[in-house]
Chains A and B, each alone.
Chain A
Amino acid sequence: MARLTDLHEASRTRLSGLECPSYETQPWVQPRALERSRIAIVSSAALIRRGDPVFLPTDAGWRPIPHDLLDNEMLLSHVSINFDRTGFQQDPEVVLPRRRLDELAEAGVIGAVGTTHYTFMGSNDPNVLGETARDIAGRLKAERIDAAILVPV
């Protein structure tokens, strides 16, 4: 469904025309064995805790989402209205798969799940997200996260 050819022309044109950054370096960190790795999620869905300020357009910041935050306390405040929200309404795992990661940890596929996940608004120009990336990476390292799984919307 997200093949560009499946999208309406207006969406296809907009997404095809988005300028993408190019990088001269190619980073690579080899994590520990997966069954011993501690994993956290970074979501671009602009999630918030109920009652907290929403992400406003051009907000390039980030927020922590506690792993044990109740589903009813989590809202999605992304600026774009051009993606489906009904999946998230019915099942938050579609966007932030915390319970699925718990199940993979219980099955021994991964070592553990982080106690905090991170979220930002993915529609921003990548050029303004440097500080957010640095801050999130710093938090992940401080929390001894071996690898982050990045989940878009």
Chain B
Amino acid sequence: MSALAHMIESHGVATVLIGLIRPHVEKIRPPRALWVPFQLGRPLGSPHARDFQLRVLRQALALLERHDGPVLLDDFADDEPRTDDDADWTPPLASPSTGDADGAMLNAELERLLPLYRRVVAARGRTTVGLSGVGLPEGVGFVASCLSGTLAASPTPALTDAQALRFIADDLKAAWTEAASLAGRPSSRQLADWLWEHTVLGRVLIRLRSLALQSGEAPFKAVAGNLLVPGARVALLEAGKAS
């Protein structure tokens, strides 16, 4: 992003960057940048923290008023609010965390989750599910089919088989975590721990990753190996196996 700031400014438009990775900003030296010490994926800080988000923007935009650049690099002093766990949050469901998870279990979990998901969509008036263009029940069926150890046929002509796995998995993860945040203010860590440690979906995706890594099917290996389970979670799983 720092590079794009440099390039856009070179084409004659003033820029100010919000930076999440300070070493990258230091190396690339965009014209103006405000480094924020927030979680990756949250450049404005916590959701629904209106005043805090305004403070971030005000401090970033203030760099546009200075005349002493280039290069201007400022730091935002405060951590994002609401990163602590919500002690009162209760996970919407908890599935057995051992044994192989299969398609029937995943379908049963979807059935339990759907009413909550529909409630949160109605309450928010939006959902981030929809990348694949495939409905949740059909998506669950597709993922379950891949548990055979090979990529199933894409249920949509818009995506290849491997792309379908990637974006259907994204949609399912989004539906699960949206449903789980209906009540309370769970932290991102609580939601991730719940998804990967206490849901059938998490176990199915981890199992798919393992199957893909043993597969000779290159697209399956590339997508399921790299784009289903976050790297930090994979590292935790591997550390757990080693311990």
Contacts and interface: CB of A to CB of B under 8 A. Distances in A.
Given A29-B14, A39-B61, A87-B188, A150 B4 contact: yes
B184 to A, nearest CB: 12
Interface in A103-153: 103-104, 109-110, 120, 122, 126, 129-130, 132-134, 136-138, 140-141, 145-153
Nearest to B171: A75
A31 interface: yes
B150 interface: no
Contacts of B29: 23, 26
B39 A147 contact: no
A54 B167 contact: yes
A139 to B, nearest CB: 10
Contact of B19 (A29, A70, A90, A152): A152
A27 B18 contact: no
A150 B130 contact: no
A53 B158 contact: yes
Contacts of A15: 21, 23-24
A21 B41 CA distance: 23
B37 to A, nearest CB: 6
Assign chain A's interface to a size class. Answer: 35 or more
A141 to B, nearest CB: 6
B104 interface: no
A14 B13 contact: no
Given A31-B64, A84-B42, A87-B39, A134 B11 contact: yes
B62 interface: yes
B60 to A, nearest CB: 6
B135 interface: no
B230 A44 contact: no
Interface string A54-97: 10100000000000001110011101011111111111111101
A2 B57 contact: no
A141 B12 CA distance: 8
Nearest to B79: A1
Nearest to B228: A81
27 contacts: A2-B37, A8-B236, A22-B28, A25-B10, A26-B31, A28-B70, A29-B15, A30-B14, A72-B127, A77-B131, A88-B47, A89-B174, A89-B181, A95-B44, A97-B57, A109-B61, A132-B4, A133-B11, A137-B12, A138-B11, A141-B13, A146-B14, A147-B13, A149-B18, A149-B61, A150-B18, A152-B17
